[in-house]
Amino acid sequence: MAEELTDFEGKLLKWLTKSDFHSVPWSTKSAAKTFKVSEDEMYEALAALTKKASDKIQIFYKNGTLHVAADE
C-alpha cells in the first residue's frame, strides 16, 4: 500500500497540478517562499512525491532547467 501524503505534500501536489512548471522552469527558492518552508523542505517534499505519488508527478531536466509536471 502506498504511503499517505502529508498535508504539505498534498497541498504541493495540488498546487503543482495547477501550475505550468512543465513548460516554465522550476524554482525551488520561489516554491519554498510560496509555501513558507525551507528549500530543503521543498526538495524533501518533491522527493517524497516521486515515491508516494509516482503516477501523478514527473520531474525532468530540459535545456538546462528543471521542470515539474503533475496530474490529479
Domain boundaries, the chain: 7-70
pLDDT-above-70 percentage for the chain: 97
Residue 67 has pLDDT above 50, yes or no: yes
Q: For the chain, how many helices (H) and strands (E)? A: 3, 2
Q: Across residues 34-50, what is the average pLDDT?
A: 97
Pairing of strands 57-62, 65-70: antiparallel
For residue 12, the SS3 value is helix
Fold classification of 7-70 (topology level):
Arc Repressor Mutant, subunit A (1.10.10)
**The cell 498534498 sits on which residue?**
10
Q: How far apart are CA 56 and CA 34, in angstroms?
A: 21
Question: pLDDT (tens digit, 9 = 90+) per residue, 5-24?
Answer: 999 999 999 999 999 988 88
Residue 1: predicted pLDDT: 33
